[in-house]
Structure 1
């Protein structure tokens, strides 16, 4: 357990440093945008591309694994939507965003760096696949249900265009697809290009986690809704438990891939859930509170889950 804490605490320490920085230095929040640009468009895509492109193609083609992990995300999303409608009487648009907050983990900023730290560089491959298919599930479901629940109703063509744009222009997904293409072609970067990509790789984890801490610290939210305890429980407990059994049953992967799948499922709500809530103008405060509460909870739950996995497998 001490070894796991020694790995985990520096990562959560970077988030803490990021959350403290705005309280010490009163800078304009607009500056954070450039830090996010570096992380989202340069550092993490470089990490994904370098690891995926260096992986043999036969290891990247794993439909059972992505079906299992994507299916768990889909189930948790729909479970929260159903409970939001039946128990909390949310309208469809709000329920869709509550489903997003209960199932959309921080698979980019936290998932990729943590997977590599806990399980080694090879763990970035299943982590990148989980990211791609989780994001696809979330973008599709949120766009469809929030669109149907909105006023006025957008046309199917408008919803489809938005889904295609969100999925196929996301830099992490583009980096994964380019990495798969490079692996299939047997191409690897060299010389100056390789050096630049490696420098970006090394910066990805620290900068992403620091930026996440800054983002969480700058948010100011009001009260907590009755649905929040259930939403948090689904995100940090139900989703990883389901991931363990469903991935083991459907995919029967090697231990590292199974551990990555469960750890990725246990991640706190992504800040993208808050961004989507603002975009659809529904459940904005609730999504923000979910990001903060699940992030704090994950300081305890993720090391415990990783410890349990390493002693079970």
Structure 2
């Protein structure tokens, strides 16, 4: 059979464009012994994928020019020669950007089809939710009554961070880029919100929102927003360094205030982390996140784009703040429903 795939065409300089992607029709053979044929249902687009477009060593291998893009995907088994993955199974894993693909089953995790929307296994109950869980609870270790600041608060990770902080009894300040996003954060229980695009003085706004200083900072964006937060750190503050999306498309190393002095005088801890560091503990996070979701303590929003051909546009939209919550692309409905 034939299927469409999206190839990584060239490495970008600065912000990626549609020129980085090429569509191609390829043959997909039928599965042999130990293999399954998968139909893509939902595909995740994530900021970390920008780093994979660069050449050089990182925590995940770079995309290869001329080869298919790949990322998180929920897919359905439509033909099977695999003893543990029968037809009709729904799985999540890192897969090539193809409407149909072959797999030997390695790296695929079967997921229940009736406990939450399938796309949530790319967001709230997947990598972003798990990132929020460990970054906040393991690194920031928030205590009731403390002030938690979340940058990129309306993104896939940020909305979960803020809600977990509220579960733990904290005062939560969310920073996002539109009034619509701020309104949604208020619905989720955030105590204070700041629109970084329309606020003339971020440092002043943060100081007003956090009169007692900042105890925990979950950093998704870096840049001038983080510079402002560092000025408000309390003694023994904790910072989880999750992302730096404000710098991902920079062509030169950014120069700005250096945080070391602030960290020194406040005895604060700054720790970068990658969610795969916690891979052995993922089941713990998924179980707790699922419980909180079932109990109504966690709400989630997605920005769902329809159509396989819209994958590049959905990815590029991440760098312009077009998504609230998790950005996913819906490719197809499950055959079994």
Instruction: Please confirm whether the aligned pair reaches a TM-score higher than 0.5, indicating the same fold.
Output: no
Output the TM-score relative to the length of structure 1.
0.27
Q: Which has the higher helix share?
A: 1
Output the TM-score relative to the length of structure 2.
0.26
Structure of larger gyration radius: 2
Highest relative contact order (Cα 8 Å, sep 6+), 1 or 2?
Answer: 1
Q: Which has the higher strand share?
A: 2
